[in-house]
Amino acid sequence: NAGVTQTPKFQVLKTGQSMTLQCAQDMNHNSMYWYRQDPGMGLRLIYYSASEGTTDKGEVPNGYNVSRLNKREFSLRLESAAPSQTSVYFCASSGLAGGRTDTQYFGPGTRLTVL
Amino acid sequence: QKEVEQDPGPLSVPEGAIVSLNCTYSNSAFQYFMWYRQYSRKGPELLMYTYSSGNKEDGRFTAQVDKSSKYISLFIRDSQPSDSATYLCATSVYGGSQGNLIFGKGTKLSVKP
């Protein structure tokens, strides 16, 4: 099992450019999450998807959109990147069908710089 | 007040020392507690989890929860240089339907040979 995979690993954008971060999990988890991690701020939830077909805002959703493409894949889109979105982005997944959903497993992260 | 408070450190100890990492939380509804370890430039990995008050041991690691004080701890015995990482505590309401976790900001630990 690969667990949670993310692409790309690194990305540099110019202000105003758009991009999509991809995430996939092979653990048959129902729930998936997108976080950003900034120095001194810890992990902050951007969006989550409790199940296929549903998405909800987290603590810091502004400037982002998400798509739960299917049970395995959850993408994060920046429509018009801003320097404040320079961060490390982590995708996570949790839960099995009918099981507890609190334990989250993280991907390796995407380091994004917006110039 | 943030729901979970964690001293960011950094914390530097000699190899073989006993390490104590701590978090406090404010919401008495939290019943599910976790510790994640994050190596530099890597994603967080689940280290320990517990559902209730008391101790849980796994090798050199012991997680302790005191619900009366709203205090959670991670103890590392015989610390090794390979334990050098950032440790994040996390908590959630038991059986939370959305699986949302509240994270502390992390404590950076350095174990010197």
> What does the pLDDT read at residue A94?
87
CB of A75 closer than 8 Å to CB of A86: no
- A95 to chain B: closest CA residue: B99
Are the Cβ atoms of B46 and A105 closer than 8 angstroms? Answer: yes
> Among A43, A48, A40, A52, which residue's Cα sits nearest to residue A64?
A48
Percent residues over pLDDT 70 in chain B:
93
The answer for residues whose C-beta is within 8 angstroms of residue B76's C-beta and 6 or more apart is B18, B19, B21, B60, B61, B83
> What does the pLDDT read at residue A99?
55
Give the DSSP letter of residue A3.
-
Q: Is the peptide bond before A8 cis (omega within 30 degrees of 0)?
A: yes
Q: Label residue B93 by pLDDT band (50, 70, 90).
A: confident
Residues of A with CB under 8 A from a CB of B: 4, 31, 33, 40-43, 45, 48, 50, 56, 58, 90, 94-95, 100-109, 111
**Mean of the per-residue pLDDT values of chain A:** 91
pLDDT in tens, A14-54: 999 999 999 999 988 888 999 999 988 889 999 999 888 89
Q: Does B10 touch chain A (CB under 8 A)?
A: no
Within 8 A of A106 by CB-CB distance, chain B residues are 36, 43-45
Q: Does B79 touch chain A (CB under 8 A)?
A: no
For residue A56, give the 3-state DSSP assignment.
strand
